[in-house]
Structure 1
C-alpha cells in the first residue's frame, strides 16, 4: 500500500512539472478576448487614365519616356500603389478624333486620376477655335465621369508650343505661338470654371528654341528630357490630388 502511494505521488509530481514546462514554452497572453478581428489594410491600387494626342502617347520617344509613364513611375517611387497608366492617345488626333476613340474603347472603369492634353492638331489643321472650345469642354466632362464624377481627380496639361522646334523653322513661328496661347487660354478658362488643376508646361516647351536636347530625333516632339521637366513641374500637385481624395 505504501509503495502504491509513493508511486502516485511521484507520478503527480512529474505531471505537474511537465505542465509547468509546457506553460513556459507556450505562454498564454493575458487579457486577450476570445475572438479577435485582425487589422485590415487598404490595398486598393490606384489607377490613372491619360487622354490626348502625340504628346501623351510620346511620339518618337521610348515608352518609359512618355510623360504619363514618367509620372506613374514617380508616384510609385513615392510609395503609391499605382498600376500601369491607361493611355488613350495617338499622334495626329484632334479633339473630335479623341472623342471617337474614347467611345470606341467602351471603358466602364473608374479611375483614381485622369489627365487631358489635346488641341495642337486642331490648331495645326486650322480648325475653328470655337470647335476646340466646345469639344474640349465635352472631353473634360468625359474625363470627370471617368474619375467617378469627381472634378478634383482630373488635371489638364497645356499645349506645348511647337514653334520652338526645328520642324517650324520655315513656318510663321509668331503666328503658331500666338494661336497656341489662344487655345491654352480657352482650356485654362474652362478648367477654372470646373475648378480643375491646369498645369502650364508651355514655357518649358519654348526652351527648345535654345536647348536642342529637349527635342526628340524627329525635330518636332519633346524628348524624354523635356517630359521629365513637365512631370517635375506638376508632380507635387498630382500627389496633392491623390492625397485629397
Structure 2
C-alpha cells in the first residue's frame, strides 16, 4: 500500500527520468562476428540463443567476447556444437516470439533465453510478461523441438550506473519481482533457471554505457550457462 502510494507520487519523476535516459544514453553497437555455425569436436549438440541486446553481446567488441562466444568456449572441448544466435537490441519477449514464428522450422536440443530488461523498462505488467514467457517456451518446444530451455534471470537493474534515482530503485524492484515470478514459472514449465547471483560478476565490470554487461560479465555468464548445459547433458545420459 505504501509502495503503491510512493509510486503514484513519483510517477512523473519516473517518466521524465526514463525519457532523459533514453535520449542521452550512449548507444553501443552490436558486436561483429558469426551468429551461426558449427564449432568444437565430440558429441553433437545443437544450441539456439535468443534474446535482447545482452544476448547479442552489446558491450563487447566481438561475438567471441560476448555471451555466445563464452558459452561456446566453455563447451567446444567436449562437444561439436551447431549454434544459432537470434538477438536484437531493444527486443522484448513478444518481439522474440514474433521473430521465432517467422523462422523456418529446425530442431535444437538446447535453447538459452536472455530477456526481460526491455519488458521492465517498457512498463509491462508481471502477468503480461509471464504470459509471454510461457508462450515463448511453447514456441521453442513445438516449432523447434527444444528439449532443454535455459532461462537467464534479469540482471541487478537496481545497480545500473546509467539509471538515476529513484528510477533505478523502481526498475530494480520490478526486475526482482519479475525474477521471482520467472523462477516459479521455470519450475512449472520444467526449464532451467539461471539466477543472476550465480553469474557472480561485479557491476564494475559493466560496459561503458553503464547499462550493458562488459566482457567480464559475459565471461562469467557464459561459463555458468555452459556449466548448466554440461550438467543437463550428464543427467540426460544417466536417465
Which category describes the TM-score, using the shorter chain as reference length? Answer: 0.7 to 0.9
The 3-state SS of whatever aligns with 2:108 is coil
Distance 1:171 1:221, change over 3 A: farther
Report 1:113-132 matches (<5 A): 113-132=110-129
Determine the C-alpha separation between the residues in 2 that align with 1:101 and 1:65: 25
User: Which is higher, the Rg of structure 1 or of structure 2?
Assistant: 1
More helix by share: 1
SS of the aligned residue for 1:168 comes to: coil
Displacement of 1:198 in angstroms is 0.5
CA offset digits 1:152-200 (Å, max 9, x no partner): x221110112331221134522212210011111211110002211110
1:54-112 C-alpha deviation (Å, 9 max, x unpaired): 111111312112212211121003x21113x21111111111111111122x2311012
Provide the residue aligned with 2:139 in structure 1: 142
Aligned match of 2:88 in 87, 90, 111? 90
| Alpha-carbon distance in structure 1 between the residues aligned to 2:138 and 2:129 | 14
CA distance in 2, matches of 1:203, 1:173: 22
Q: SS at the partner of 1:167?
A: coil
Contact 2:45/2:109, CA 8 A, preserved across alignment: yes
Flag structure 1 segments of 5+ consecutive residues without an equivalent: 1-42
Following superposition, the deviation at residue 217 of structure 1 comes to: 2.1
Q: TM-score, normalised by structure 1?
A: 0.72
Matches of 1:60 and 1:174, distance apart in 2: 23
- Aligned counterpart, 2:105: 108
CA RMSD of aligned residues (A): 2.3
Question: Whose strand proportion is higher, 1 or 2?
Answer: 2
